[in-house]
Chain A
Amino acid sequence: MTAKAFLLKDKVALVAGDSKLWAKPVAVALAEAGANVAIAAKDSPRLAEAAEAARKSGGKVTAIPTDVADAAQAQKAVDQVVAEHGRIDILVNAGDIQFFKPFTEITGDEWAKIMDCNFHGTLNFCRAAAKPMLAAKRGRIINIASGLAERGLANGSAYCVSMGCVLQLTRALALEWAEQGVTVNAIGTGWFLEPGAAPIDERLTRYIPAKRYGQPDEIGSLVVYLASDVTEFTTGQWMFVDGGLMAHA
């Protein structure tokens, strides 16, 4: 249940990006808070499943099969949302493809693909949503950026770089639009697991202060908070749901 102050009744939200983790729980959380939700991601059973789950939570839900790395398709997705609802209030960029490989072995194609999924998707949707949000003098952009945007990890070069791009885009746009009613924030994530998946590494579980991985739906309440009307003075921030991970050595 969502506290009254955070309700998103009649608001229009777009959740964009390919990820095993985020589309479904984010769409569900927004729908539960009362928003109408569109989901733009590659055409897959995952997209259909996310839309179906959000639909069960109420609100109008649209699945928009999209190649998020293609700027024209991102624009088309935003146009479709605006055509359908008359506006777009909330954009959540939830692209997050995990990819870990020794730096010297990563191919150019792999670099391109990771940057496309994790960064260019976010970039494309920020560009597409900017116009209607700035025109309305109101908007909420929420980018999901792993703590690896700041911390290093062996074999994580491509992933770390792609997330660092998302974080810095967040901060720069927040400043650029600070006086125009459009807030841009990031949600920082630690180690999360798909429901039912086995921990990647037992040592990691012990390393996390909370002594467990996160469940993807645990970021839902922060998404809703940052999407709500009460956060109009909050921008350029990177707020964490990480079980304390970033606090320790």
Chain B
Amino acid sequence: MGTLDGKVIVITGGGTGLGRSMAYRLAEEGANIVVAARRLPPLEETAAGVRERGGKALVVPTDVTDTAQTDRLIEKSLTEMGRIDVLINNAGIVRGERPKTMWEISDQDWRVGIDVNLSGAFYCSRAVSKYFADQKKGNIILVASGEGFRGQRNSFMYNTAKAGVVNLTRVMALTLAEYNVRVNCIVPGFVDTYDNQPEDYQKVMDEMRASGARRLFVPVGHSGKPDDIGYLGLFLCSDASDYVTAGIFISDGGGLAGGFATTGFAPTVSLEEGLA
């Protein structure tokens, strides 16, 4: 018996990384999972993993930037699974390509970056909101990023959209509270989501790892793993967090607690020196 027995949880971006980890951790607690994303093969893999863990799985290929598809995702989930208990808006583009300089960013680049990382979460949430409101119960989870709280050179769409996700969480939480719908936000720091990523992304990740650049910004000294987020998703999906709404849950190895000096910088200045 699990804490999520019989619940239906829809996860966008469910084919890879954090989405897959959440799907598995939730399935292990008895949840049935609807996995949505653009590419079918990774979705099928996640679905197979869910079934191995005893859950039912439904695959719905979805481009979250297309509202006809997001509406269909919610409809299909309800028709085929009979209910939705939680929506996890996890789809996003994690800097899949080399950053362009500002004047090279096209209208299309901007729109896609904002749409995938921010608008998609709104579209999916909107699609399920009436159902949740009517049944006077619901649970929406958004996935932002530590980048949504800070700036980064050249990271225009990602950082902007993720900051939007943080505040979309608060607005939806306040708006939907009267319908007993809770809305929370997961904020991962640097998480290695290496598998099933396009080649150019893997290349960027390889370079980052080799340079050790991440260590400079992560106090615990290493990147997170998808399960660090998977278990946070489990907490937020379960009744253990029933009174929790509008929460911003950061799991980032301490990154956002710092940001005044490089990680590992630990000065010593004696009182005598300070007072001198």
Q: Which residues of A contact B (CB under 8 A)?
A: 18, 20, 97-102, 110, 113-114, 117, 147-148, 151-156, 190-191, 200-201, 203-204, 207, 245-249
Check A247/B270 contact, CB under 8 A, given A147-B260, A153-B258.
no
A207 to B269, CA, bound (A): 20
B interface size (C-beta, 8 A)? 27
Contacts of A246 in B (CB 8 A): 259-260
The reply to whether B265 and A97 form a contact with Cβ atoms under 8 Å apart is no
The reply to whether A151 and B259 form a contact with Cβ atoms under 8 Å apart is yes
The reply to whether A100 and B266 form a contact with Cβ atoms under 8 Å apart is yes
The reply to whether A207 and B261 form a contact with Cβ atoms under 8 Å apart is yes
The reply to whether B146 and A249 form a contact with Cβ atoms under 8 Å apart is yes
Check B150 for interface membership: any CB of A closer than 8 A. yes
Centre residue among A147, A153, A191, A247 by max chain B CB count within 10 A: A153
Check A249/B147 contact, CB under 8 A, given A99-B274, A101-B268, A200-B267.
yes
Check A204/B262 contact, CB under 8 A, given A18-B275, A151-B257, A249-B150.
yes
Q: Give me 8 other A-B pairs in contact (C-beta within 8 A), A204-B262, A249-B259 excluded.
A: A20-B276, A98-B273, A101-B268, A101-B270, A110-B271, A155-B268, A203-B262, A245-B259
The reply to whether A99 and B257 form a contact with Cβ atoms under 8 Å apart is no
The reply to whether B265 and A204 form a contact with Cβ atoms under 8 Å apart is yes
CB distance from A235 to the nearest CB of B (A): 24
Which of chain A's residues has its CB closest to B147's CB? A249
CB distance from A71 to the nearest CB of B (A): 20
Contacts of A99 in B (CB 8 A): 269-271, 274
Centre residue among A20, A100, A191, A249 by max chain B CB count within 10 A: A249
A185 to B52, CA, bound (A): 58
Check B135 for interface membership: any CB of A closer than 8 A. no
Contacts of A191 in B (CB 8 A): 261
Check A151/B275 contact, CB under 8 A, given A99-B269, A100-B269, A248-B151.
no
Which of chain A's residues has its CB closest to B252's CB? A249
Q: Can you report 7 residue pairs joining A to B where beta carbons are below 8 Å apart? A: A98-B269, A101-B268, A114-B274, A152-B257, A154-B264, A200-B267, A246-B260
Which of chain A's residues has its CB closest to B214's CB? A249
**Among candidates B152, B217, B254, B268, residue contacting A100 with C-beta atoms closer than 8 Å:** B268
Check A100/B267 contact, CB under 8 A, given A18-B275, A248-B150, A249-B152.
yes
The reply to whether B146 and A98 form a contact with Cβ atoms under 8 Å apart is no
A117 to B151, CA, bound (A): 33
Check B92 for interface membership: any CB of A closer than 8 A. no
Which of chain A's residues has its CB closest to B150's CB? A249
Contacts of A20 in B (CB 8 A): 276
Contacts of B19 in A (CB 8 A): none
Contacts of B217 in A (CB 8 A): 249
**A-B pairs, 10 with minimum CB distance:** A154-B266, A151-B260, A100-B267, A155-B266, A247-B151, A99-B274, A97-B274, A152-B257, A100-B269, A249-B150
The reply to whether B259 and A248 form a contact with Cβ atoms under 8 Å apart is yes
A99 to B264, CA, bound (A): 17
Contacts of A156 in B (CB 8 A): 267
Contacts of B271 in A (CB 8 A): 97, 99, 110, 113-114
A124 to B217, CA, bound (A): 38
A117 to B45, CA, bound (A): 61
The reply to whether A201 and B269 form a contact with Cβ atoms under 8 Å apart is no
